[in-house]
Amino acid sequence: MRGVFATMLAVYSDDNTLHDPDHFISRGVQIAVRESPERVVQLQAALRDGGHVIRAPRDFGRDALLSVHDPRYIDFLANAYDNWQTLPQPRGPMVLANSYAMRQMKTLPTSFEGQLGFFLSGNSVPIGPQSWRSIASSANCALEAADTVRGGAAESYALCRPPGHHAYADLAGGYCFLNNTALATQHLRGRFARVAVLDVDVHHGNGTQSIFWERGDVLTVSIHGDPNTGYPWQVGYAEERGEGEGLGKNLNLPLPLGTTDAPYLAALDHALAAIRAFDPEACVIALGLDAYEEDSSEMMRVTTAGFGAIGARIGAQKWPTVIVQEGGYAVDALRRNLGSFLNGFLSTRGA
Ligand SMILES: [Zn+2]
């Protein structure tokens, strides 16, 4: 036991607050975006509460992003806001697509307007004037945290915003643009032969699953609300197990609406046993805090103490671990829920 005073390296940048989408359409109603800059303020407060060492990330550059993303997609995201300004009026203040390409429609148009619906999968990924800076910064936070563990640290935490686990190699969705968790995972592969991803966000980690779908060297495990009852709806079911080299290297554990701490922890034990069987040399935790009982996602009923128990069980595995922040929308509870998770995690780390 290192006790409650143990600390870890956390990576954060002020640029993560710049992305500031103003609205979102849900069930036909315009609502305020839940993935707000205020989330960062609360998460950062938790890091200060814990006395963790906070460091800004380096810029790992475009090549690092290409480790899991399509270059055409990176160019699209980086230039989207400027290109939007060239479209005729009337147009809104943020980049949004009108028509979405189901991926049976395979042609990538050369026009910016045609590419909008190809690379953006819904209205939850608006792009404003500063969004790319936040998106790139968030990715750099994940890469910096991963680099620390690659260099020998036992653990690190990346305060990523916007989140990333719904982003595919070439598709944004669910508030996510670049897949921070996948970038951290691939960076760890530069040292570690087998890396496991454990996604505890209440929504299925569909982008991460897709990126590593045919990979035998990366195990992806996701515990999430039944996708038949919430985002991402069409993916995240138990029968999805990977293909080719990746067959059997993807595990989905969907749980019913209203799941409380005890059944959640039972599912976590099952997930951890599967990861131990894979014998990873390092692990990435996609840490959503939206399984919380008061989260607007309204999918599960995990308590603040429950997040501490989740952290403790993960920490006890002793894997070199990168924790990447994903969702969590009960803004007033983020501070205590992140604190609870990190305290639990660190309480079981020592020799
Ligand atoms: Zn989520």
Specify if 236 maps to a domain: yes
Specify if 161 maps to a domain: yes
Specify if 54 maps to a domain: yes
- Per-residue confidence at 253, pLDDT binned at 50, 70, 90? very high
Specify if 34 maps to a domain: yes
Q: Is residue 4 predicted with pLDDT exceeding 60?
A: no
Output the DSSP codes for 47-96.
Answer: HHHTT-EEEPPP--HHHHHTTTS-HHHHHHHHHHHHHHTTSPSS--SSB-
Q: For residues 134 and 161, is the Cβ–Cβ distance under 8 A?
A: yes
- Give the per-residue pLDDT at 5: 61
- Give the per-residue pLDDT at 14: 96
253-269 mean pLDDT? 98
Can you tell me whether residue 225 is helix, strand or coil? Answer: strand
Site of tokens 């993303």: 69
Find the 325 Cα to ligand 1 centroid distance in Å.
10
Specify if 81 maps to a domain: no
- Give the per-residue pLDDT at 303: 98
End-to-end CA distance of the chain: 7
Q: Is 187 among the residues known to form the active site?
A: no
Q: What residues make up the domain containing 173?
A: 9-70+129-347
Lowest-pLDDT range, 28-42, 100-114, 207-221?
Answer: 100-114
Identify the sign of the CA torsion 176, 178, 180, 182.
positive
Output the domain CATH number for residue 231. Answer: 3.40.800.20
Specify if 98 maps to a domain: no
Find the 256 Cα to ligand 1 centroid distance in Å.
15
How many domains, the chain?
1
Chain Cα centroid distance, residue 61: 20
Find the 290 Cα to ligand 1 centroid distance in Å.
6
74-81 mean pLDDT? 97
- For 273-327, how does the pLDDT look when each residue is reduced to its tens digit (9 = 90+)? 999 999 999 999 999 999 999 999 999 999 999 999 999 999 999 999 999 999 9
The chain-wide mean pLDDT, for the chain, equals 95
Q: Work out the burial of residue 316: count CB atoms within 10 Å of its CB; fewer than 13 is exposed, 13-18 middle, 19 or more buried.
A: middle
Specify if 157 maps to a domain: yes
Q: Is residue 99 predicted with pLDDT exceeding 80?
A: no
d(CA 237, CA 343): 31
Q: Residues lining ligand 1 (ion), CB within 5 A?
A: 201, 203, 288, 290, 327
